Structure 1
């Protein structure tokens, strides 16, 4: 069965997906680094984003190893990689939804205290549930080689298990479906609340609403709230399509374009978050640019200083030689 249904992963697909893994790894690292480096960024929402980035980094690493190997059987490293990616990927779903719930309670319910009280539960659920599911799947020997039927070279649920569809749901797909519904609903409610609040403010504070800086920041935040569920769905929908094609035994699931999109979608989440919350955040982007420019100037200054010192040393040596003569 594994041999017949095996999906071929081409070299160009490997290169593209490995690149996506690398971008996601360093994108997640940049999110974590900016949070650690700048104290004023240490807000609760960005702290939740750091936890999501930890999951995305672990996911990118496990997928990178799997795509490098292109597993052909239930080897020990196949099972280990499948377990790590199952935990990290499922945890990423939970943290993504957790951030949406936090923002909903904080903005719509106008209760920071209630929102902050949820963080402990977010930890228990977002780490605990994926861990319990992964341990259960390992204990029952459900994780293993899946012939790239719903993966791209890496291991996930053993395709030869009789109840593999059930375990695919438990170890990822059911949480993915829940996220598809939950994220758009929560962010639409948040946007409606913000729109109504802005409409009320515009009546009593026309100076504030006409301020170009205020309008700019508001539009940026509004675009992010729109992009978060859209990007999540755009990245994850390809794996869902392949899962549904597997259920119908359709050969379309082996289509190289669909396989490549699936690979990118599963591995690019960390990079997408970095683009949205670091590179598209003006205050953080300007700091990073200033930091890079500063380091460039320091290197240039050090180079000029070393050159000047060498020139001075040569001049002194030349004068000493002349004096000896």
Structure 2
């Protein structure tokens, strides 16, 4: 098996995945910037989203470096890149589940105090466990060149490590499998609770329930709760498929389409979160549009002022121009 281990990464795959990394980088940055710029939007769920975006930002940068380099050996750069991507990717799993747990406790259990108390534990788990696993893997020389067998150019668990499958589970796959189970269950319970509460409110407050704006917000929230686990699974499933194919020693894992989908799925999470929680969130979307329009208006005013200045002759100031304009108008009136 080890003698045949090598997945070719084509230039077209590199370009597509680098574009995916760039989108995720920009999406994660936008989530973080909106949180910094507008203090009134700094709710606890959005703060957790920022921590997730930091992980996705690190993932996008480290994966982009790996895809650009397409490592061939266990170099220092390979090990560093593999360590950063392992930490960031594993942390992203934990923060994704942490957000779901927070929303479940806050909405279903109706306990904001308990939910807020969990934030410290989320930090300890979502940063601490990935850090311990990554440090242990690097110390035991388990991170390195993996021949793109369960990656796309970047480094992960060394393909020649005799216990590579165990470390593949510890450094990502086991947490990925748990997220596949945990996220749908939690969001289904949240959706069920919201629907039951909405039906109860509708019985006593039919006017509010029938308002178009209320329905719009409700449908948007319902759509997000549906999309979060679905998008996560759709993006991540391709790496899981390749991992299973590696266990089965199937050559299908080297299929270019599957490799490309794996690369996109692993690197696009930051962009997907930005779309769902920034572009699909009306208050933030409205503020972004207002800010962009204001910037466009300012640029137009600056350009107009710049054009007027260039219309003046060399050595002719504005006051002189106004005097000449007044003289011209006086002569015309005569």
Q: Normalised by the size of structure 1, how large is the TM-score?
A: 0.96
Asked if structure 2 preserves the Cα contact closer than 8 Å seen for 1:2 and 1:146, the reply is no
In the alignment, the residues of structure 1 paired with residue 277 and residue 210 of structure 2 have an alpha-carbon distance, to the nearest angstrom, of 26
Task: Decide which structure has the larger Cα Rg and report it.
Answer: 2
Please report how far the alpha carbon of residue 4 of structure 1 lies from its aligned counterpart in structure 2 after TM superposition: 2.4
Quick one: distance in 1 between partners of 2:294 and 2:281?
A: 20
Residues 301-310 or 145-154, more deviating: 301-310
SS in structure 2 at match of 1:118: helix
**Residue in 1 that maps onto 2:8:** 8
Q: State the partner residue of 2:268.
A: 268
Is the 1:2–1:147 Cα contact (8 Å) retained in structure 2?
Answer: no
Aligned counterparts of 2:178 and 2:319: Cα–Cα separation in 1: 75
Deviation at 1:282, TM superposition (A): 1.4
Q: What is the CA distance between 1:290 and its match in structure 2? A: 1.1
- Which residue of the partner structure matches residue 43 of structure 1? 43
Q: CA deviation at 1:309?
A: 3.8
CA deviation vs aligned residue, 1:48-73 (integer Å, no higher than 9, x gap) = 00000000000000000000000011
Q: Is the CA contact 1:17–1:263 (under 8 Å) kept in the aligned structure 2?
A: yes
Q: Are residue 254 (structure 1) and residue 235 (structure 2) matched?
A: no
TM-score by length of 2: 0.94
How much does 1:316 deviate? 4.6
Tell me how many residue pairs correspond in the alignment. Answer: 321
Q: Which runs of 5+ in 1 are unaligned?
A: none
What corresponds to 2:84 in structure 1?
A: 84
> For residue 132 of structure 1, what is the aligned residue in structure 2?
132
Aligned mates of 1:198, 1:36 — CA distance in 2: 33
Query: Which stretches of structure 1, 4 residues or longer, exceed 6 Å deviation after superposition?
Result: none
1:6-41 CA-to-partner distances (Å, cap 9, x unmatched) read 000000000000000010011000000001111121
Q: 1:18 is matched with which residue? A: 18
Report what 2:330 is aligned to: none
Cα drift, residue 254 of structure 1: 0.3
Matches within 5 A, 1:153-232: 153-232=153-232
> In structure 2, what is the Cα distance between the partners aligned to 1:316 and 1:263?
62
Gaps of 5+ in 2: 328-334
Deviation of 1:145 after TM superposition, in Å, equals 0.5
